[in-house]
Structure 1
Amino acid sequence: MMKTILHKADTRGHANHGWLNSYHSFSFAGYYNAERHNFGALRVLNDDTVAAGMGFGKHPHDNMEIVSIPLSGDLHHKDSTGRDEIIRQNDVQIMSAGSGIAHSETNANRDREVKFLQVWVYPKEKNIEPRYEQKNFAPENRQDKIVTVVAPDDANAVWINQDAWFSLGKLSEGLAANYQLHKEGNGVYVFVLNGTVTVNGQVLEARDGFGISETGSISITATTAADILLIEVPMQTQGE
């Protein structure tokens, strides 16, 4: 029997620190909701806006797969391996924190804010060597398609240390699409970046989240032109 959980945009946790305006789909920092700790292996989905020239100072992570997706503007990433990169709109970056890494993420622009999603997924294997990868996914290549951008088994995507697949879709009004889950026991969390879509009969608007499990496929119809992110993860996880 298919299971679903709906997280409307206005029910998310919210913290505005001035330089950082952040919405949390799951418990994070000062926001705690016992019923919204995770969706399977998906632990964090933060929708962040960072003021010009500001950002997160150097801080450590371990044993977490951390995906950053800039929605507008540019992010400056530096980490303890010596890596120094700019992550731009339409890039997808992943950092496998593994046995331990420290990084900073700041707004690379001094004249405008940067908006990005940060997503944390519990890893499949613990204490791997820390790893970093980023790739660009041009919007024209995902027009009216659902394109895999994070995967454990796809050379065109960035690699993740988990049986998890992230996909982005840019859908025209009226377009209908089916998404087949990659692995039995996985669920998929649909996050609407903009526009309105109907997923398995549920109407979703911008920044709504909808988790679906115990099914092999989902049906998506764009009620308006829409951009969506699909995060497919194992529902059984070792967790913390």
Structure 2
Amino acid sequence: MGTAISLDLADDLPAATLHALAEETFAWLRAVDARFSTYREDSEVCRLDRGELPLAEASADLRAVVERCADLWRETDGYFDAYATGRLDPSGYVKGWSAQVASDRLLAAGAVNHCLNAGGDVRVRGLSASGEPWRIGVRHPWDPTAICLVLSGTDLAVATSGVYERGEHVLDPRRGAPARGLRSVTVVGPDLGVADAYATAAVAMGPAGIGWLDRLPGHRHAVVTDDARLLHSTDLPLTD
């Protein structure tokens, strides 16, 4: 996955059950990494990109992801583009998607109170161990030791895309150049994979992404611009 992943299980379940659920979650995420990593020569996504693996012979997960990325390309007017770098790289959807699947599986298994954090893409369900709604800090895009917002909720998918960790890695696919104008974009919605892709698309759009996010149904957002302005939806679930 190329990032740190943490899991907080807050249900009062037997320790052996919690341990098994955690092991199953991380086994799934390791399998996703092996299949979708763009850094592993033997991964399915790299083999597909090189033409060594026909899409019809790929796994059901890879076929579903490629199809969903095509849908997201249309939904974002081409700004979410799994081929923006010239090769297949669905990472802007896969990280959030895989964490969403893991959360759905935990919920189905009876772990109704949990928080899964995949490198800043966060899926929370239910309540924390304190019995309170989960609190999710959004990293300050210039100070790695600080946060700029704190969100709170019991059923949230929160994805953040920005240029503060990996530099200008998000490309504007129309210009074929690094996106400029937005330092950080956080999208809150019902599905983490979709929120992840929308956040990436908004960064790629630059300042025009703010208006696009304002018109996006069923989602809320927070944006930090390159000139240090903080803009967000009026109904963003903020807390002190």
TM over 0.5: no
- TM-score, structure 2 as length reference: 0.29
Judging by fraction of residues, say which structure has more strand.
Answer: 1
Judging by fraction of residues, say which structure has more helix.
Answer: 2
- TM-score, structure 1 as length reference: 0.29
Larger relative contact order (Cα-Cα within 8 Å, sequence gap ≥ 6): 1
